[in-house]
Chains A and B, each alone.
Chain A
Amino acid sequence: MSQSLVVDTSEAAVGPARPVDPGTGTSPGPGRRVEARRVLRFLLRRPGLLASVLVVVLVVLASFWPGLFTSRDPLKGVSSQNFRSPSSEHWFGTDELGRDLFSRVVHGAQLSLKATLIAVAVAFVVGGLLGLVAGFVGRWVDDVLMRFVDVLLSIPALFLSLALVTALGYGTVKVAVAVGIASVAGFARVARSEVLRVRQAVFVEASRSCGARWYSVLGRHVLPNAAGPVVVLATLELGTAILAVSALSFLGYGAPPPAPEWGTLISDGRNYLGNAWWLTALPGLVIAATVLATNRIARALDGEWSRQR
């Protein structure tokens, strides 16, 4: 397709592959402290990035320990207190049944985070494996797998996940799997081009000529050096997956009603647009902030961090 016209150059370019130093991950003591100080300085120079990290940390905390943020029950409401606008008592106001919206958003983080992680994990594992096999084995296997990936790319992602939802049924996990499979193609492409790039590197050739088996070449040299861009893509995919999952649950295919999933919260609030703006506006802001934060972190991982070295 049109991609193949233009992207060819970048795939063909054999950049100087930097072998991963096996020591960095496990270096004890002083080396680690220097690294930590560098991370801190890197963050302090970029207030936007710092705020993004903070947002992500808060969302993760909320999904594991919602009790840290609110003591109210997300499912039980006081019907005499319905449609209260945001105040110091109810930060995000209350809904039509008098349930506290802030507590619903906090408890919903767990569902949404779970769905997002499942989606990215499916895309990462399946796409990464496809790309790895295609790039490492080559020949006809490569051709067959990449043609398949091209086809997946030619179906708009939302339509593919809608078809999968039709086949699999409704529910948070099913929606997450559908979103994950719809983004397999991107991972397969990146993983393949990385494996191809690394496979031609001198150190791979050297270890082959030393008589290393294919699996040790793959595990010790190709995988560690090819993983970087795929991981960056995964962080970038987090934001996309949050949006896709919330769009599908907005359309009504996510968790069934009482569950406070973020997309469902907004579609519930839609019925009260005229008299309770907070029911749609505030959960949406939370989604936007989370996506913005993960995208910012992905951008930092992508270029800024390595350029600073």
Chain B
Amino acid sequence: MSRYVIKRLAQAVGVLWAAYTVSFLVLDFLPGDPVSAMAGAGADSAEIDPAQLAALRHQYGFDKPVLVQYADYLGRAVRGDFGDSVSTGRAVTATLTDALPQTLQLTGAALLLAVVIGGGLAVLATYTRQRWLRQLLLSLPPLGVSVPTFWVGLVLVEAFSFRLRWFPAFGNDGLRGLVLPAVTLAVPTGALVAQVLAKSLLTALDQAYVETARAKGAGRWRIHLRHALRNASLPALTVVGLLVGQLIAGAVVVETVFSRDGLGRVTAAAVTAQDIPLVQGVVVFGALIFVLSNLIVDLVYPLLDPRIVVASSRKASFA
């Protein structure tokens, strides 16, 4: 077990390092000198003082060889220092950690809604014997993943803020302000949960143990919830990584739509200002969240399903 944990941890660290390297390559190597982009981002005048450019280059270390730059930046990144934002001058790490709680609140609420509604939809769709109801319920998830998230948000604002005046359209204030953004973000996420869970529920209901339970006289609900759902929710855990990615990406759009403060707003502003240190911080931070959530799933999975570790250690002895 401990070997399994150590292997997963090492993998996670390796992936993070590689993600940092990829973002470094993309942002510092591609066409377009970052310094002139930075200097040009604020003022729209075409000509920039060359001496000022050289000073900026020196300040950010762009006059050194690339490998030295890379080692410098990596060394600081390991200690959690991603430099200062070019547009605001604040430290990148502080900017991100300040924005994090708001985004966690939003994504947490959205995830809860998504699991409850998406899961409920999947259970109901596979339980019902009414053909039309099943068809209707199963047609909702493909619809949910096909509508643009920002459009759902705007339509909700239109209906519930401007027409009915039930919820505020913008801002971060309290639980009432959280409802519309969370619902918006829950639409694509819940659709994904429903699709995956419905599929694995149908597979589970075909298994022999379901037949056995039925032969022993268990009720339909009991079979559905106690036997099938418990087994079906395990494979659904594997899409947690996908869900987390979708949630953070969705947060960028949703926070822009509702003008909420948070990571997404910071990201959008950083890209608009071509604030390279901040964008890089965001990318690595996104990868960190993704890797951490996958790591947690990997570590929890064997506790729920002991066969996993046996299988992986057997594979290791083959190699």
Contacts and interface: CB of A to CB of B under 8 A. Distances in A.
Nearest to A293: B146
B199 to A, nearest CB: 12
A253 B271 contact: yes
Tell me which of B146, B155, B286 has the highest count of chain A C-beta atoms within 10 A of its own C-beta.
B146
Contacts of B157: 273
A261 B248 CA distance: 25
B252 A158 contact: yes
Interface in A33-79: none
A165 interface: yes
B271 A166 contact: yes
Interface in B13-72: 15-16, 18-19, 22-23, 26-27, 30-32
B166 interface: no
Contacts of A5: 238, 298, 301, 308, 312
Nearest to B253: A247
B107 interface: no
B148 A168 contact: no
B241 A2 contact: yes
Interface residues of B, number: 60
Contacts of B249: 156-159
Contact of B283 (A150, A160, A250, A292): A160
Contacts of A291: 146-148
B252 A287 contact: no
Contacts of B271: 162, 165-166, 251, 253
B280 interface: yes
A274 interface: yes
Contacts of A239: 146
Q: How large is the interface on A (under 10, 10 to 19, 20 to 34, 35 or more residues)?
A: 35 or more
B286 A155 contact: yes
B238 A295 contact: no
A167 to B, nearest CB: 4
Contact of A284 (B155, B248, B287): B155
A120 B39 CA distance: 34
Interface stretch (B111-119, B213-221, B289-297): B289-297
Contacts of B15: 1, 150-151, 154
Contacts of A154: 15-16, 18-19, 287, 290-291, 294
A111 to B, nearest CB: 16
Interface in A219-275: 239, 243, 246-247, 250-253, 263, 266-267, 269-270, 273-274
B189 interface: no
B298 A247 contact: no
Interface in A127-179: 147-148, 150-152, 154-160, 162-169
Give the dominant DSSP class at B's interface: helix
Nearest to A274: B162
Contacts of A305: none
A166 B253 CA distance: 17
Nearest to B288: A154
A99 interface: no
B240 A159 contact: no
A6 interface: yes
A163 B147 contact: no
Contacts of B11: 1
A160 B25 CA distance: 12
Contact of A296 (B142, B244, B294): B142
A3 B274 CA distance: 34
A155 B151 contact: no
Contacts of B240: 2
Contact of A295 (B142, B149, B286, B298): B142
A280 B294 contact: no
A131 B94 CA distance: 40
Nearest to A159: B286
B151 A287 contact: yes
B133 interface: no
Interface string B260-299: 0000000110111010100110110011001100100110
A18 B253 CA distance: 44
B19 A155 contact: yes
B75 interface: no
A155 B22 CA distance: 10
A97 interface: no
A91 interface: no
A29 B300 CA distance: 60
Interface of B: 11, 15-16, 18-19, 22-23, 26-27, 30-32, 142-143, 145-151, 154-155, 157-158, 162, 169, 235, 238, 240-241, 244-245, 248-249, 252-253, 256-257, 267-268, 270-272, 274, 276, 279-280, 282-283, 286-287, 290-291, 294, 297-298, 301, 308, 312
Given A280-B155, A284-B147, 12 more contacts: A2-B241, A5-B312, A155-B290, A156-B287, A159-B249, A162-B282, A162-B283, A163-B279, A273-B162, A281-B151, A288-B148, A295-B145
Interface of A: 1-3, 5-7, 147-148, 150-152, 154-160, 162-169, 239, 243, 246-247, 250-253, 263, 266-267, 269-270, 273-274, 277, 280-281, 284, 287-288, 291-292, 295-296, 299
13 contacts: A1-B291, A151-B22, A154-B287, A155-B22, A155-B23, A156-B245, A156-B290, A159-B283, A159-B286, A164-B26, A166-B274, A243-B148, A288-B147
